[in-house]
């Protein structure tokens, strides 16, 4: 057998590791899945009804290329203009579109450390230079440092992943004023937080906001995201997205979800309540837990013989998946735990107690 022409692959691709998503066990496997920040509750009935209504012979037709019905529903839901909204195949697609619209080879993309671990591989794919600034004290945004770096695109996750903290909005506004860079506020978790950046949009034309349907809107399996930005920027971004980047079924579900956001309010309230409970329970068990504004908590393991990988493996052996980040040594003693149902969190705490007893 002759070997494939791997030397034809772009050197940047050969050199990169690629993004590692959280483990997705096969359907039907019995695990308590607290590792990828999905919503533990099913989508509301009105979303299923919309999907069912879209399931007919029209599937042979391409979807509306620019997702206009979704943009109009987003305009109704958020009080913005429909042409100031772009729809993505997940908010990860929005991130790719931003990279392709604003980043030339060699341009600097700037993010905070730690934040969403997909930003670096996306920058590398685009040929950009990825730089990180550490968060300031108590999760403050290092405005001076960020503004001084001459970046093309600055990525701020708010609430942040994996820490869960929400950096003050005034600092985001200050940064937008101090830089000519595009400032992305990645608001995948905004529905679980006390506030969000949408009110800043009209005052800062370089501000772009992304949202996801995967967490608060229970639709990670359909792949849907939104982007809010100045209409002139959105017009440029339309040029680089895939022609039909959001399929018919996803568009139908998105419209139903956006037109009935009230259906999700009790689910979000339950998750916020369980977040408070889990934070308290883990602190009782000597974990150091950061106050979270998202649908997960970031917890430093308690002192003892068992290290971070030991906790992750121990929980997994007992049927509980949590997320662990091994690319940054500083994150090794930390677990990111998705807020599940009350029953799932009971199970988690039971297994935590078992492992702690086992540790002595």
Q: Applying CB under 6 A, which residues contact ligand PLP?
A: 37, 90-92, 116, 157, 161, 186, 188, 212, 214, 220, 225
The neighbour count for residue 206, using CB atoms within 10 Å, is 17
CB of 285 to ligand PLP, least distance (A): 26
CB of 107 to ligand PLP, least distance (A): 21
What is the C-alpha separation between 265 and 39, in angstroms, rounded?
Answer: 13
Q: Which is nearer to ligand PLP, 229 or 352 (CB)?
A: 229
Q: Which is nearer to ligand PLP, 261 or 285 (CB)?
A: 261
Which pair of structure tokens corresponds to residue 99?
């990279």
Q: Which is nearer to ligand PLP, 245 or 351 (CB)?
A: 245
CB of 192 to ligand PLP, least distance (A): 11
Nearest Cα to Cα of residue 37 among 218, 196, 193, 210:
218
The conformation of residue 241, written as its DSSP 8-state character, comes to S
Q: Which is nearer to ligand PLP, 221 or 319 (CB)?
A: 221
Nearest Cα to Cα of residue 217 among 229, 225, 209, 207:
225
Q: Which is nearer to ligand PLP, 71 or 356 (CB)?
A: 71
Cα dist from 325 to 37, 268, 340, whole Å: 14, 26, 20
Q: Which is nearer to ligand PLP, 132 or 349 (CB)?
A: 132
CB of 9 to ligand PLP, least distance (A): 25
What is the C-alpha separation between 112 and 115, in angstroms, rounded?
Answer: 6
What is the β-pairing status of strands 207-212 and 225-228?
antiparallel
Residues 6 or more apart whose Cβ sits within 8 Å of residue 157: 111, 112, 115, 116, 186, 188
CB of 220 to ligand PLP, least distance (A): 6
Instruction: Indicate the residue whose CB is closest to ligand PLP.
Output: 90
CB of 260 to ligand PLP, least distance (A): 19
């Amino acid at each position: 057998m002759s070997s494939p022409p791997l030397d034809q692959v772009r050197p940047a691709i050969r050199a990169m590791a690629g993004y590692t998503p959280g483990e997705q066990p096969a359907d039907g496997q019995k695990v308590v899945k607290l590792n990828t920040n999905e919503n533990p509750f099913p989508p509301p009935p009105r979303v299923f009804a919309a999907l069912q209504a879209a399931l007919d012979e029209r599937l042979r037709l391409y979807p509306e290329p620019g997702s206009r019905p979704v943009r109009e529903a987003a305009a109704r839901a958020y009080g913005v203009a429909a042409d100031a909204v772009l729809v993505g195949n997940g908010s990860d697609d929005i991130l790719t579109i931003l990279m392709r619209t604003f980043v030339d080879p060699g341009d600097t993309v700037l993010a905070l450390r730690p934040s969403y671990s997909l930003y670096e591989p996306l920058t590398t794919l685009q040929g950009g230079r990825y730089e990180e600034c550490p968060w300031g004290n108590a999760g403050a945004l290092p405005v001076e440092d960020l503004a001084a770096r001459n970046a093309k695109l600055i990525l701020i996750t708010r609430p942040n992943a994996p820490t869960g903290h929400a950096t003050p909005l005034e600092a985001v506004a200050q940064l937008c004023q101090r830089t000519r860079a595009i400032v992305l506020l990645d608001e995948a978790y905004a529905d679980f937080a006390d506030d969000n950046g949408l009110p800043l949009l009209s005052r800062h034309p370089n501000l772009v906001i992304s949202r996801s349907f995967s967490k608060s809107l229970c639709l990670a399996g359909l792949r849907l995201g939104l982007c809010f930005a100045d209409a002139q920027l959105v017009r440029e971004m339309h040029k680089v997205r895939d022609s039909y980047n959001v399929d018919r079924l996803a568009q139908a579900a998105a419209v139903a979800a956006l037109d009935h956001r009230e259906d999700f309010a009790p689910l979000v309230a339950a998750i916020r309540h369980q977040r408070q409970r889990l934070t308290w329970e883990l602190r009782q068990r000597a974990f150091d837990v950061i106050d979270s504004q998202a649908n997960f908590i970031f917890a430093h393991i308690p002192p003892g013989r068992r290290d971070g990988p030991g906790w992750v493996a121990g929980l997994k052996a007992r049927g509980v998946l949590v997320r662990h980040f091994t690319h940054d040594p500083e994150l090794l003693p930390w677990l990111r735990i998705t807020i599940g149902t009350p029953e799932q969190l009971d199970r988690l705490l039971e297994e935590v107690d078992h492992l702690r007893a086992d540790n002595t």
